[in-house]
């Protein structure tokens, strides 16, 4: 496993624990459909939350949450639609980002609720 993959997996583990401590129920991790993937799918009360985790070893060049492109957002939205249709969910949904920077002095975690919205193309 590459260092980037290891860092990404560690970030997803940290994000899952973080969400659970906030009272979320994590129901899926690394859910895939075709070439699309969602890092974490969780329930926040009655809201289905699709979470993209961005983990970096530094925020020197750019904060992790700012690295999510419009193209990546479209892929996450498509995957979320497939998940909702496959599992017959009829509830509110939202898209969050958890940004993690692994500083030498400790980790910095940011949870951005409603980080982006589905849009029509």
For the chain, domains (ranges, CATH) are: 3-116 (3.40.1350.10)
SS3 76: helix
pLDDT at 120 over 60: no
- Residue 60's CB is within 10 A of a number of other CB atoms, namely 8
Give 68's pLDDT tier (boundaries 50, 70, 90): confident
Least confident range from 7-11, 44-48, 81-85: namely: 7-11
pLDDT at 61 over 70: no
Are residues 37 and 31 in contact, defined by beta-carbon separation less than 8 angstroms? yes
Give 81's pLDDT tier (boundaries 50, 70, 90): very high
pLDDT number for residue 90: 86
- The pTM of the full predicted model, rounded to 2 decimals, is 0.89
């Amino acid at each position: 496993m590459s260092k980037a993959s290891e860092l990404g997996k560690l970030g997803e583990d940290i994000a899952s624990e973080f969400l659970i401590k906030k009272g979320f129920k994590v129901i899926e991790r690394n859910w895939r459909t075709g070439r699309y993937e969602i890092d974490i799918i969780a329930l926040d009360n009655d809201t289905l939350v699709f979470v993209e985790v961005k983990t970096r070893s530094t925020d020197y060049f750019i904060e992790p949450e700012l690295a999510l492109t419009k193209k990546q957002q479209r892929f996450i939205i498509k995957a979320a639609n497939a998940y909702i249709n496959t599992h017959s969910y009829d509830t509110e949904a939202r898209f969050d980002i958890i940004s993690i920077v692994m500083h030498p002095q400790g980790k910095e975690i940011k949870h951005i609720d409603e980080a982006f919205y589905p849009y029509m193309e």
